[in-house]
């Protein structure tokens, strides 16, 4: 499996000290690598913003209207690329590289791919809040800060890690569909249905799962409720 420490393959059944060490390593990965992702993605966004200002009648400067997010086109690029390529790849590495002999969906395997998925999320939300502060509403800024915090907090929980990672991946695909609908790459009705399905279905499954396997601690419980 893809792990952050040699002993993490049995993390769901590991001693408390081993679990705490795995959480600490993942938490550090999310914060440190998240800052690197923020610098990288923020630099790309700044370059796209300058390009849009340099060609005010170009595609990058075009503001979407009548869509889901209604932003200038250049603000969609970094998010859509991450949701199309980076996040699915990291989720796949986590899922197919999991230790099949230990709990994954409701366990807390300390995998590098999980940490990097969360680090990418942390970095994306932080840089978007800063680079696009003038465009983002206070509600969007609050969402970004809360999402970045949740990305780190998931590394501190002792359960539900695989499940919550999968829920996040599903919801990101719904957001991607909405973005592609805004940009004209998908018809807006199917995009709206995809966004609705990836919002309602994960919420319903999460609620049902909370009764069958309640979150084991405050960290995972907070994310489930949020």
**Residue 96 to residue 47: CA distance in whole angstroms:** 35
Angle at CA of residue 164, ends 203 and 217, nearest 5°: 105
First to last CA, the chain: 30
pLDDT tens across 154-213, in order? 999 999 999 999 999 999 999 999 999 999 999 999 999 999 999 999 999 999 999 999
Closest by Cα among 33, 132, 126 to 76:
132
pLDDT of residue 22: 72
What value does the mean pLDDT of the chain take?
A: 92
Q: With DSSP H G I counted as helix, E B as strand and the rest as coil, what are the percentages for the chain, rounded to 5?
A: 70, 0, 25
Of all residues in the chain, what percent carry a pLDDT higher than 90?
88
* pLDDT, average across residues 39-59: 98
CB contact at 8 A, 103 and 163 = no
Has residue 8 got a pLDDT over 60? Answer: no
Has residue 80 got a pLDDT over 50? Answer: yes
* pLDDT, average across residues 66-78: 97
CB contact at 8 A, 162 and 106 = yes
* pLDDT, average across residues 74-95: 98
Closest by Cα among 50, 114, 56, 107 to 87:
114
Place of tokens 């569909």: 177
* Ramachandran category for residue 137: left, alpha or beta (phi over 0 → left; psi -120 to 50 → alpha): beta
Global pTM reads 0.90
């Amino acid at each position: 499996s893809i792990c952050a420490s040699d002993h993490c393959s049995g993390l769901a059944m590991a001693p408390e000290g081993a679990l705490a060490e795995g959480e600490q390593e993942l938490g550090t990965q999310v914060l440190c690598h998240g800052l690197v992702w923020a610098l990288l993605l923020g630099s790309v966004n700044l370059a796209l913003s300058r390009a849009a200002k340099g060609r005010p009648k170009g595609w990058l400067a075009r503001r979407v209207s009548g869509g889901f997010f209604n932003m200038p086109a250049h603000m969609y690029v970094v998010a859509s690329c991450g949701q199309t390529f980076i996040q699915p790849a990291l989720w796949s590495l986590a899922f197919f590289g999991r230790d099949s002999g230990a709990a994954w969906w409701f366990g807390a395997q300390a995998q590098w791919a999980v940490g990097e998925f969360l680090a990418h999320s942390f970095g994306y939300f932080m840089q978007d809040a800063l680079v696009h502060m003038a465009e983002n509403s206070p509600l969007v800024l609050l969402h970004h800060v809360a999402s970045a915090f949740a990305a780190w907090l998931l590394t501190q929980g002792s359960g539900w890690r695989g499940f919550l990672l999968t829920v996040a991946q599903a919801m990101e695909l719904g957001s991607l569909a909405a973005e592609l609908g805004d940009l004209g790459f998908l018809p807006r009705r199917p995009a709206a249905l995809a966004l609705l399905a990836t919002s309602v279905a994960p919420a319903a499954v999460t609620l049902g799962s909370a009764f069958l396997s309640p979150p084991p601690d405050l960290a995972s419980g907070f994310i489930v409720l949020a």
